[in-house]
């Protein structure tokens, strides 16, 4: 992996908005300048979207290719991203572009919205001077959701598939002859929802008899084993996740890993953790970049997620999505080898009282604190001075904030240079005397999911956001989230936890007793009692019906309660019978 100098500098200051400081944490969804869709302009659908991230290292940099983005992003260290407008980019509206470095000399990519593909190459991705190979990959077409992989011996492979009928396939390409196929398409894997509950179609896997989609292959090689990752059952659902097959050969035969899905996030503020890429940072830590669903204006309105990932001592692949939209530490030399990336900063704003300068129709202020990215507050105007205030109800230690804008009746398409957000956030102990927390009144960046870590924790009861400028016709916010620690105690350990398999072994019914002062609960599960890597966040409820199990293995569960003050001790491990 490249040796990269730490250089993620972000503009932020309580006093000087142009002062420089380094972020140490982040929160999902990843805050990049997402591109507005150009696909359904005739329907008046204006929305940002980013999905299917392919993140690859090349010459001491990282490049992230994202569906229909009219370019791509560059990073020194997976901490912050800069958008690249390439001089010539063959696929301005490409679906799920794949990419891979060829040694340190060339970056190759493959993508097209209609399935007819060229391999394109560059030795200068920062400028974006791409060259197209003369021949189309007609023998492999159509090539939807392509992925590329260059093995240690220099052999090049392509993978693809996005269908509820066809399988994931693979083929070897000839790098010495225009990257034309050396083999036919080889069928590598199909979905088996009758055996793998998490592959079933629909929200919460309740799509009935509808055939699920298999898509988004990605190849990772670890310890001489090939991990072919794939997504199911559909990008628009909260249960969109990734499973994995393994082999000793890049073209198989492959064996299903019963611990699948390895990347899965069906609950929380923003859901979904499918169709992405696995990459190492400069310090050797693995990260999983994924697709998360927003789905307000359009089912394919999406965002990018980033989760700590890796391989355990037995080679099991995992992505840790627990508290996956709360603040986590960013990779750095100081955090090298960290096992737990969650900061422990809790959500202070959940269902707290709110007041606003105005509201439009039924888009009430309470939507900014309900922990649902699909609901939102709309002010009567987008004018400077519109405000919203959250009462945390008691003095709390505030450490970070996240402002998630949304597109309500927007009118923007593509990626104009005129997009930027400006705002002011203040805090107060009594609701009368206010101090500046975040001053971005002179800000010039496009930050649709802005996350701000305070340089020092601040004691506050009231948090007030005041708009200065948004690029959209309306000021609309789906989440004004405040993180830190409350002054009280974490909840007590959950009691009476039970987990039972149904007659359908793809399902489990979980129940527990309510814990006083708990905001919600986090469930952990897996097929080994020592490896409960998968998790589900549940607010308020004391039951959960999982439909994500595989029929063959035994499953083990445990639970913890959480609130604004912290997290309880976890329960004992419980085997579902």
Given a contact cutoff of 8 angstroms between Cβ atoms, the answer to whether 135 and 180 are in contact is yes
Give the global pTM.
0.94
Average pLDDT in the chain: 93
Q: Which two tokens stand for residue 409?
A: 């009746």
The structure tokens 């001089």 sit at 87
Identify the weakest region by mean pLDDT among 264-278, 335-349, 476-490. 335-349
Looking at domain 26-329, does it have CATH number 1.10.760.10?
A: no
Q: Is the pLDDT of residue 21 over 90?
A: no
- Could you tell me what percent of the chain has a pLDDT over 90? 84
* Cβ partners under 8 Å of residue 344, min gap 6: 566, 567
Section 472-484 average pLDDT:
98
Confidence of residue 43 (pLDDT cuts 50, 70, 90): confident
Looking at residue 203, its pLDDT comes to: 97
Q: What is the pLDDT of residues 310-356, one digit of tens each?
A: 999 999 999 999 999 999 999 999 888 888 999 999 999 999 999 99
Q: Is 153 left (phi over 0), alpha (psi -120 to 50) or beta?
A: alpha
Nearest to 47 by CA among 417, 410, 471, 374: 410
pLDDT digits (tens, 9 = 90+) for 217-229: 999 999 999 999 9
pLDDT(15) > 70: no
**Residues in Cβ contact with 433 at an 8 Å cutoff, skipping those fewer than 6 apart:** none
Task: Write out the two tokens for 116.
Answer: 């007819």
Contact 542, 511 (CB under 8 A): yes
Higher pLDDT, 562 or 23: 562
Query: What percent of the chain shows pLDDT beyond 70?
Result: 95
Query: What does the pLDDT average to over 124-138?
Result: 83
pLDDT of 119 reads: 86
Mean pLDDT lowest for which of 3-12, 16-25, 122-131, 199-208? 3-12
Which pLDDT score is estimated for 91?
A: 62
Neighbours of 266 (CB within 10 A): 27
What DSSP designation does 281 have? -
Position 270 confidence tier, pLDDT thresholds 50, 70, 90? very high
Kindly indicate the confidence band of residue 12, based on its pLDDT and cuts at 50, 70 and 90: very low
Q: What is the pLDDT of residue 10?
A: 34
Residues 55-88 have pLDDT tens digits of 999 999 999 999 999 999 999 999 999 999 998 7
- The pLDDT tens digits of the residues spanning 429-447 come to 999 999 999 999 999 999 9
The alpha carbon dihedral of 91, 97, 98, 101 has a sign of positive
Res 577: pLDDT: 81
Confidence (pLDDT) at 7: 30
How far apart are alpha carbons 533 and 525 in whole angstroms? Answer: 6
Confidence bin at 137 (pLDDT 50/70/90): confident
Output the pLDDT for position 90: 65
User: How far are the Cα atoms of 30, 306, 339, 554 from residue 328, in angstroms, in the given order?
Assistant: 11, 10, 12, 31
Q: For residue 5, what pLDDT is reported?
A: 30
Read off the pLDDT of each residue in 454-464 and give the average, rounded to a whole number: 97
Query: Are 368 and 405 contacting, i.e. CB atoms less than 8 angstroms apart?
Result: no
Whether the predicted pLDDT of 4 surpasses 80: no
When computed from its CA atoms, the radius of gyration of the chain, rounded to whole angstroms, is: 23
Question: Can you give the residue ranges of every domain in the chain?
Answer: 26-329, 346-485, 498-575
Indicate the CATH number of 498-575 among 3.40.50.300, 2.60.40.10, 3.40.50.10330, 2.40.70.10. Answer: 2.60.40.10
Record: fold of 346-485: Jelly Rolls (2.60.120)
Query: How large is the average pLDDT for residues 375-387?
Result: 98
pLDDT in tens, 142-168: 889 999 999 999 999 999 999 999 999
Consecutive H or E run containing 471:
none
Residue with tokens 């040796």: 3
């Amino acid at each position: 992996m490249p040796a990269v100098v730490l250089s993620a500098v972000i503009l932020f200051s309580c006093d000087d908005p142009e002062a420089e400081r380094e972020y140490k944490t982040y929160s999902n969804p990843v805050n990049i300048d997402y591109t507005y869709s150009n696909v359904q302009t005739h329907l008046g659908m204006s929305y940002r979207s980013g999905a299917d991230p392919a993140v690859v290292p090349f010459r001491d940099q990282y490049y992230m290719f994202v569906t229909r983005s009219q370019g791509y992003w560059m990073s020194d260290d997976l901490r912050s991203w800069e958008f690249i407008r390439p001089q010539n980019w063959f696929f301005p509206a490409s679906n799920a572009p794949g990419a891979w470095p060829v040694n340190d000399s060339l970056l190759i990519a493959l993508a097209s919205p209609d399935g007819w593909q060229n391999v394109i190459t560059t030795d200068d991705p920062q400028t974006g001077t791409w060259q197209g190979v003369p021949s189309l990959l007609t023998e492999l077409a159509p090539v939807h959701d392509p992925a590329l992989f260059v093995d240690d011996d220099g052999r090049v492979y392509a993978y693809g598939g996005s269908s509820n009928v066809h399988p994931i396939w693979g083929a070897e390409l000839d790098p010495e002859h225009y990257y034309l196929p050396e083999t036919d398409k080889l069928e590598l894997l199909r979905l088996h929802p009758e055996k793998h509950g998490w592959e079933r179609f629909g929200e919460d896997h309740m799509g009935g008899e509808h055939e699920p989609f298999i898509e988004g292959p990605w190849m990772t090689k670890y310890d001489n084993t090939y991990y072919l990752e794939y997504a199911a059952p559909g990008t628009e659902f909260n249960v969109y996740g990734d499973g994995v097959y393994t082999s000793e050969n890049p073209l198989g035969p492959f064996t299903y890993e019963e611990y699948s899905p390895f990347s899965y996030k069906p609950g929380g503020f923003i859901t979904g953790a499918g169709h992405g890429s696995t990459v190492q940072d400069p310090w050797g830590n693995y990260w999983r970049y994924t697709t998360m669903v927003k789905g307000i204006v359009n089912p394919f309105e999406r965002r990018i997620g980033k989760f700590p990932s890796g391989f355990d001592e037995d080679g099991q692949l995992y992505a840790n999505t627990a508290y996956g939209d709360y603040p986590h530490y960013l990779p750095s030399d100081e955090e090298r080898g960290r096992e737990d990336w969650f900061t422990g900063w809790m959500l202070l704003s959940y269902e707290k009282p709110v007041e606003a300068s105005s509201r439009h129709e039924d888009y009430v202020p309470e939507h900014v604190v309900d922990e649902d990215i699909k609901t939102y507050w709309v002010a009567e105007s987008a004018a400077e001075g519109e405000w919203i205030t959250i009462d945390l109800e008691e003095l709390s230690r505030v450490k970070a904030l996240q402002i998630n804008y949304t597109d309500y009746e927007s009118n923007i398409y593509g990626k104009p240079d005129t997009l930027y957000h400006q705002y002011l956030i203040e805090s107060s102990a009594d609701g009368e005397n206010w101090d500046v927390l975040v001053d971005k009144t002179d800000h010039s960046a496009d930050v649709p999911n802005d996350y701000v870590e305070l340089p020092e924790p601040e004691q506050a009861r009231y948090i007030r956001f005041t708009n200065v400028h948004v690029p959209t016709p309306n000021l609309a916010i789906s989440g004004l989230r405040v993180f830190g620690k409350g002054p009280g105690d974490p909840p007590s350990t959950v009691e009476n936890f039970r987990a039972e398999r149904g007659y359908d072994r793809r399902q489990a019914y979980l129940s527990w007793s309510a814990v006083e002062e708990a905001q919600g609960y986090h469930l952990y599960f897996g097929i080994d009692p020592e490896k409960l890597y998968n998790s589900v966040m549940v607010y308020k409820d004391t039951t959960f019906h999982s439909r994500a199990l595989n029929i063959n293995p035994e499953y083990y569960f445990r639970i913890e309660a959480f609130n604004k003050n912290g997290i309880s001790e976890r329960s004992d491990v419980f085997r579902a019978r």
